[in-house]
Structure 1
Amino acid sequence: LKRGRKPSEDSNSIHIKEDKTRFTKGFDRILIIYEQVLEKSLAKPLVVVSITLVLAALAVLAFYNLPKGILPETEPTAVEYRINLPGNTSLLTARESAASLVQLINSSVGAENVLAMGGYTDQTNLARVAKEGLNKFTIRVPISNPEQLERTDNLVNSYISERNGWTMESLGGGNIFSTFFGQSDAPVLFRFVGMDRTFSEKGAVALDDFLLSNGIESGIRKQYPEAVKTYQIRFNNSQLLRYGLTEQSVTEFLESRARGSFVTEWNREDESIAIRLFSSSVREFDPTTVNLTVNGRNIPISEVAEINLADEPEQLERIDQTPVLSYFSNITLTDWWWNKDKISELIRDFTRQTGLQVRIGGSALQVDSLLRDMMTLLGISLILIYIILSVQYESLKYPALILFAIPFAWIGSLIMLVLVDNSLNTLSFMGILILTGIAVNDAILKVDFMRRYLEETGDVGQAIRMAGKHRFRPVVMTTLTTILGLIPMLIPYGDGYEFRFALAAALIGGMITSTLLTLFVVPVLFQFTHRNYVPTQIESFENSKIVSD
């Protein structure tokens, strides 16, 4: 009034100053609720601790039950099958068989753009080369829905089962990394090392019985069961000398009859391709009925060699130049996770008893190594963060309180992965690793302001309440902006969205629980660690000065 303002104008200016948006009013109501709940939490800390322990137990249970893998499981848009024909099948026969199966799939399932590939490709990927051959072809069928996938799978299985000597391996739909790394191995493989394949095959049967007697159902079976019909030739040196023949001349003659007569070579860049002439009317070749022409005389080949029909493995395996024989097993990733020490010890006992060296391989070991490496990185991150905070606060107590927020983030990540039906893989573990640095931000705000208010007031309860009131909005807004920025990554749009989804789900779940538990558990821990706190004389003097002022 002294300045010439009217009461109406003065009241109007006050009304404008206190005007708030709906969002601000809503936030204020949430803050009031938070302060009330915080008061109850400080009065009954055991309730907060109990809830935290329950969530931690659920997170541990989720960790053990979550599917584990190197990469997230993707929804296949196509399904692939590798068809293995008998080992002596020619490329022409394999091509005709592939065309017949493609036609059947087109007519029965209604799939379009079915792709069949056989023979050898120009790919240098070793994983591809090991799966190729003249008697093999791969069928890729585009899939639009789960029902079509089931019908295609039943059709191909029925088609293969009706043909003697044919085998089929389902390759699934693959993912974007399979082009570079090939298909992953089975969870657990047993590789028998040694030159004697017969001895290794007997050892595989003995190992299956040994594991079963110790409570492990392995169900081992050959990784490459395909065999080739071969003729084993044992030459009679005295008869060869009698007729003036050599082993090489007889071998070349049989090869020309079986593969065609060599005509010339076609040179393409650094590749040399043999051109052979053979009769299309002769589909099968029996060397036991062949006659050799020597000096105008027809001599049965049985005169100079003994020929026997035998089965030989189509594919010979070597690891580090060592011959091995690989066997699949029914041991899943979960079984290996719980029983890896027992299985490893049983394999060592089996080796000591039989003298047969057995190596364990498969994707389960890769996942186990991945998890161990990730946990090591998490430990290093915790140590680095603790050192930095200790230097900053010149204390070991406050950094420890801040680090409590990191396990809170892990709890939310694991529970969120279960809720969204995802797996613990490289991408989700990367999200957990990123949370190690993000989750401490909220805790730093809370602990730092509680420490400052405590030094100013000397009252632990008042310091906690003031920090809760003044730091509630920054903590919640930081979390909300982070979560809103990650939500688009959860949208199932575009190829490979599963990889974005796994990373975003781990981050969002961790941010939610880290914020909630930081708002309630950290104050409770702060109150507990300062229950015997006594203000210093300087602080008491400053407080009394403030009161007197």
Structure 2
Amino acid sequence: MATAFLTLMLVSLGMTVFFVPPLIATNSSVFKPKVAGTRLLWKILLYHRRFPVGGLTAAAVLTLLVPFAFFHLPKGFSEGIEDPIIFAQVEFPSGTQAAFVDSRLSWLSSEIAAIKGVERVESMARRTKGTLSVRFNPKRISRVELEDLLDEYNDFLYQGFLFVHDRGSTAKEIVIDLIGPDDRYLRVAARRLAAQFSAQSWVRQSVLHFKAGEPRLILDIDHSRAQAAGVDPAVAAASLRWGLFGPVIVKWIDAEGEMDVRVMGSEELFNDVSSIRKSGVINDRGQYVSLESIGNFETSTEPGRIYRLNRQRSVSMSIQTTLPSLDAIVQNVETVLANFPLKKGHGFRIDPALERSTKQYRLLGFSLVIAAFLVFLILAAQYESLTAPLIIILSIPVSLACPLFVLTITGSSLTFPSLVGMIVVTGLVVNNTILLVDDMLFQRKKYGGISTWQALRHALRKRFRPLVLTTGSTLLGLVPLFLSWGAASGMLHKLAFTVFWGILGSALAALFILPGVFLFFPALTKRWPELSKS
């Protein structure tokens, strides 16, 4: 983006230097139309002459309000290019086979594909869960409407639960990791924490990023009883394993891989837990011995998948919130976590995206200050003075106050595209003030020791029409960005919004505020005749 703006400025400068002068020179008759708005301009000048303190006060107030608004405006979270696609996940109970998951996803995909505006549905089924990707046309159905329709399928999804990842622009997903040595305790604590978050009004839903382990049946063999019954524990284990999974009689190997060929018995012999308990083995004397007679059966749960974060055991969960402000999200999440007790040696890790976003806002704010300082250095080198650039640079905070004010009254958040737009505006808004200062220097050089009022009057009258034309053409050039749509439309709209109000604010500042500063501090322009001589 920065490269595009730089190229645009260089092309504009080249056309101004090499193409515009020949075109003007070839025009034999110069037509000077009557300046529109002369009466309005004269009223503005008379107001500034009578009440110069008004412009100065407005400039001072707006300059002080800009940093205040920057730090206190709510900052948006996770702004950027938004693709017209929704990712959803369907969870099923532990032990659910992939074939059953695929059958449910097949039905669900056909139902979603029939929704008006949905262009394509892709699914992938695995054991206990499946994923969906839904591509839609934002002109026919909005992201929020489609997400609400997907939520309604939970009432018809047998034994399944569907949830949507990162719910568009109305909800943000925050990941929270629980870290500690006790994996079982972490899972229990994560469930309690998810329930506590779900009770908050600002949380849309809570999602656990782990599943309960699959149930298991354990046979604890009593060696003394097994020896008395003439059963070798290893033989008993092998017999039970063969009965459940079948022995491998051959390995089939081809170009696609390796596959075990097993011999299976009747599934009715081991179709439930009770049939396994009643099963048995043949001892060394050829007698049938039940497994319950040589050991004890116990039921428990598999530990499931073990997750690690920075070499520590961890589990994670996420919440989806409708809060638009980054500061409000951080404050609310930290409040809930501060009131949630954990065992010693366990802790939380909040989504690193929150910290990254905060740092990015600080970096962009610092870039805005650097941009204004660089503009000041360039102007100071060109004018060989500090007073003229000082008044010119004053137009930057006064102009930025306009988009910040509109964001405040509309209840909008400060976003990354908005800050990028402010950095762009920093280099554009000084143009109107440069026109006034440059023409005032010309009037001082041409007429000698004229007063600041006379120089300002001539400059405003001469530059009023170019100021209106350049401002109007720039604002009209931003209209296509407002009308754009697609993956990056949200970012372009916010960028155009900031530049639009910033350019408009610069024109208003050049007419209604900065002339008052010139007239209130005429001493600032005392050395301008010397500057004009150079």
Asked whether the two chains share a fold, i.e. TM above 0.5, the reply is yes
Asked whether the 8 Å contact 1:119–1:136 carries over to 2, the reply is yes
* 1:523 to 2:515 alignment: yes
| SS class of match (1:29) | coil
Aligned runs of 1:179-328 on 2, under 5 Å? Answer: 186-200=172-186, 221=206, 223-224=208-209, 226-231=211-216, 233=218, 236=221, 238=223, 243-245=231-233, 250=237, 254=241, 257=244, 264=251, 272=257, 274=259, 286=272, 289-290=275-276, 291=279, 293=281, 300=290, 303=294, 306-310=297-301, 312=303, 316-328=306-318
| SS class of match (1:195) | coil
Aligned runs of 1:65-84 on 2, under 5 Å? Answer: 68-72=76-80, 79-84=86-91
**Over residues 241-300 of structure 1, what are the superposed CA-to-partner deviations in whole Å (9 max), with x where a residue is unaligned?**
9654559x949964983699696466768xx57566698995995467434656666665
Counterpart in 2 of 1:95? 102
> For the structure 1 residues 286 and 374, does the alpha-carbon distance in structure 2 shift closer, same or farther, using more than 3 Å as the test?
farther
Distance (whole Å) between structure 2 residues aligned to residue 203 and residue 533 of structure 1: 70
Distance (whole Å) between structure 2 residues aligned to residue 210 and residue 158 of structure 1: 24
> For the structure 1 residues 232 and 261, does the alpha-carbon distance in structure 2 shift closer, same or farther, using more than 3 Å as the test?
same
Shift of 1:520: 2.8
Aligned runs of 1:477-488 on 2, under 5 Å? Answer: 477-488=469-480
Asked whether the 8 Å contact 1:186–1:362 carries over to 2, the reply is no
Distance (whole Å) between structure 1 residues aligned to residue 273 and residue 353 of structure 2: 44
* 1:365 to 2:351 alignment: no
Asked whether the 8 Å contact 1:458–1:534 carries over to 2, the reply is no
Shift of 1:29: 1.9
Asked whether the 8 Å contact 2:93–2:159 carries over to 1, the reply is yes
Aligned runs of 1:412-431 on 2, under 5 Å? Answer: 412-415=402-405, 424-431=414-421
> For the structure 1 residues 443 and 87, does the alpha-carbon distance in structure 2 shift closer, same or farther, using more than 3 Å as the test?
farther
Amino acid of the structure 2 residue aligned with 1:231: R
Counterpart in 2 of 1:433? 423
Give the gaps of 5 or more residues in structure 1: 1-15, 121-132, 176-183, 543-549
Shift of 1:191: 2.1
Counterpart in 1 of 2:46? 39
Asked whether the 8 Å contact 1:187–1:332 carries over to 2, the reply is no
Counterpart in 2 of 1:446? 436
Distance (whole Å) between structure 1 residues aligned to residue 381 and residue 259 of structure 2: 74
| SS class of match (2:181) | coil
Asked whether the 8 Å contact 1:78–1:173 carries over to 2, the reply is no
Give the alignment's Cα RMSD to 1 decimal. Answer: 5.0
* 1:462 to 2:454 alignment: yes
Asked whether the 8 Å contact 1:88–1:135 carries over to 2, the reply is no
> For the structure 1 residues 206 and 451, does the alpha-carbon distance in structure 2 shift closer, same or farther, using more than 3 Å as the test?
farther
Amino acid of the structure 2 residue aligned with 1:194: G
Asked whether the 8 Å contact 1:333–1:364 carries over to 2, the reply is no
Amino acid of the structure 1 residue aligned with 2:97: S
Asked whether the 8 Å contact 1:84–1:226 carries over to 2, the reply is no
Shift of 1:438: 1.8
Counterpart in 2 of 1:138? 132
Counterpart in 2 of 1:376? 366
1:170 to 160, 164, 167: 164
Shift of 1:375: 1.0
Distance (whole Å) between structure 2 residues aligned to residue 516 and residue 168 of structure 1: 53
Counterpart in 2 of 1:514? 506
Amino acid of the structure 1 residue aligned with 2:475: I
Amino acid of the structure 1 residue aligned with 2:79: L
Asked whether the 8 Å contact 2:205–2:320 carries over to 1, the reply is yes
Asked whether the 8 Å contact 1:82–1:169 carries over to 2, the reply is yes
| SS class of match (1:457) | coil
Higher mean Cα deviation, 96-105 or 290-299? 290-299
Asked whether the 8 Å contact 2:52–2:519 carries over to 1, the reply is no
Distance (whole Å) between structure 2 residues aligned to residue 416 and residue 276 of structure 1: 72
| SS class of match (1:69) | coil
Asked whether the 8 Å contact 2:247–2:262 carries over to 1, the reply is yes
| SS class of match (2:176) | strand
Distance (whole Å) between structure 1 residues aligned to residue 70 and residue 516 of structure 2: 26
Distance (whole Å) between structure 2 residues aligned to residue 42 and residue 259 of structure 1: 101
2:396 to 402, 406, 426: 406
Higher relative contact order (CA 8 A, sep 6+): 2
Size of the aligned set, in residue pairs, is 492
Amino acid of the structure 1 residue aligned with 2:506: S
Asked whether the 8 Å contact 1:77–1:143 carries over to 2, the reply is yes
Asked whether the 8 Å contact 2:53–2:520 carries over to 1, the reply is no
Higher mean Cα deviation, 185-194 or 328-337? 328-337
Asked whether the 8 Å contact 1:289–1:301 carries over to 2, the reply is no
Amino acid of the structure 1 residue aligned with 2:299: N
Shift of 1:364: 3.7
Counterpart in 2 of 1:118? 124
> For the structure 1 residues 442 and 512, does the alpha-carbon distance in structure 2 shift closer, same or farther, using more than 3 Å as the test?
same
Asked whether the 8 Å contact 1:95–1:118 carries over to 2, the reply is yes
Asked whether the 8 Å contact 1:80–1:140 carries over to 2, the reply is yes
Shift of 1:193: 0.8
Counterpart in 2 of 1:125? none
Distance (whole Å) between structure 2 residues aligned to residue 528 and residue 268 of structure 1: 88
Amino acid of the structure 2 residue aligned with 1:71: E
Shift of 1:40: 0.9
**Over residues 106-134 of structure 1, what are the superposed CA-to-partner deviations in whole Å (9 max), with x where a residue is unaligned?**
67x567766241236xxxxxxxxxxxx65
Asked whether the 8 Å contact 1:77–1:142 carries over to 2, the reply is yes
Shift of 1:90: 1.0
Higher mean Cα deviation, 507-516 or 442-451? 442-451
Asked whether the 8 Å contact 1:90–1:135 carries over to 2, the reply is no
* 1:475 to 2:467 alignment: yes
Distance (whole Å) between structure 1 residues aligned to residue 272 and residue 385 of structure 2: 87
| SS class of match (2:178) | strand
Counterpart in 2 of 1:13? none
Shift of 1:170: 1.9
Amino acid of the structure 1 residue aligned with 2:398: F
**Over residues 369-412 of structure 1, what are the superposed CA-to-partner deviations in whole Å (9 max), with x where a residue is unaligned?**
32122112212222322333333333333333222222234233
Amino acid of the structure 1 residue aligned with 2:421: G
> For the structure 1 residues 276 and 438, does the alpha-carbon distance in structure 2 shift closer, same or farther, using more than 3 Å as the test?
farther
| SS class of match (2:500) | helix
